[in-house]
Amino acid sequence: MFPQQRLKTVELVNLFTIMPRVQLQQQQCTNMKKGAWSPEEDQKLKSYIMKFGIWNWSHMPKFAGLSRTGKSCRLRWMNYLRPDVKRGPFTMEEVEIVIKTYQELGNKWSAIAGRVPGRTDNEIKNFFHTHLKKQLGVKNVASMKRTKRVVMKKDKDQNEMTNIYADKSSPNVCNYSLEKSSSTIITWEENEMTDIVSSSNIVILESNPEIEKISTNNVGCHLCQFEYPHPCTLSGLDFFHQFDVLWDAQHLTIF
């Protein structure tokens, strides 16, 4: 047993006999925080990922001391905290790419984002709905059939989009400009200066500019000290990790 582990006998009994795992998870979800992220939460998530990497979104929040769902953490990281996320106004070039790709692929935001470096699917989606939709004269995007990730359906969707945009009477969208930016994200350099994590050899960030130089073998789990990739992600949860829901992540020691 780990010294940080605070499992009481009654809790173990509940785990095994009284409270099924699914029910535990449901109960956990009801206690999850929702809404806007605080700077403290951002810092916790960012620090944790920088130190231990991304090994399992569902279980990471507890270890990071966050009362958030894995989905929420993933979204926050992908759309906001990731150092390679580009903020601020879209450039003319980016707008052109978005429009061109949209006409080619339809509402496949992630695919479009893949062609616009630094922009997230959510950002592109918002940008499209708030700015380009009107300019492109799209009446009701929501009514369009949702594109599924099924190859067989791709052609149909693409044809649909082709019909919608057959008439290219779009205004000159390049005239569009954004005056403001709600960005509060810090750059990688700023991040390096301000982050509380001072570890020099335990870093894994998908777009860390230094990532090529870093071996993932240096990444470990702060609980079991397994090296990355974490065994929990490979063969299911081991004994200790099955009960991590009862651990107080705030008091866990980070080595």
Minimal distance, residue 101 CB to DNA, in Å: 11
The answer for residues whose C-beta is within 8 angstroms of residue 237's C-beta and 6 or more apart is: 59
When asked if residue 168 is in the footprint of DNA (CB under 7 A), the reply is no
Kindly tell me the burial class for residue 113, based on how many C-beta atoms sit within 10 Å of its own C-beta (0-12, 13-18, 19 or more): buried
Minimal distance, residue 21 CB to DNA, in Å: 6
When asked if residue 70 is in the footprint of DNA (CB under 7 A), the reply is yes
Minimal distance, residue 220 CB to DNA, in Å: 17
Which residues, numbered 78-107, are part of the site for DNA (CB under 7 A)?
A: 78-80, 107
When asked if residue 188 is in the footprint of DNA (CB under 7 A), the reply is no
Cα distances from 66 to residues 212, 236, 245, 246, in angstroms, run: 29, 22, 12, 13
CB 84 within 8 A of CB 207: yes
Of 1, 10, 142, 193, which lies in the binding site for DNA, with binding defined by CB under 7 A? 142
Instruction: Encode 212-230 in three state secondary structure.
Output: HHCCHHHCECCCCCCECCC
Residues 83/86/88/94 CA torsion (nearest 10 deg): 180
The stretch near DNA (CB under 7 A) out of 119-127, 159-167, 194-202, 221-229 is: 119-127
- For residues 196 to 235, the per-residue mask of contacts with DNA, x marking binding by CB under 7 A and - elsewhere, is -------------------------------------xxx
Minimal distance, residue 140 CB to DNA, in Å: 8
- Within 10 angstroms of residue 6's Cβ, the number of other Cβ atoms is 11
DSSP string, 60-108: HHHHTT--S-HHHHHHHIIIIISTT---SPPPHHHHHHHHHHHHHH-S-
The stretch near DNA (CB under 7 A) out of 91-99, 129-137, 161-169, 247-255 is: 129-137
| Chain residues in the site for DNA (CB under 7 A) | 21-22, 33-37, 56-59, 68, 70-72, 74-76, 78-80, 107-111, 121-123, 125-127, 129-131, 141-142, 144, 146-150, 178, 180-183, 233-237
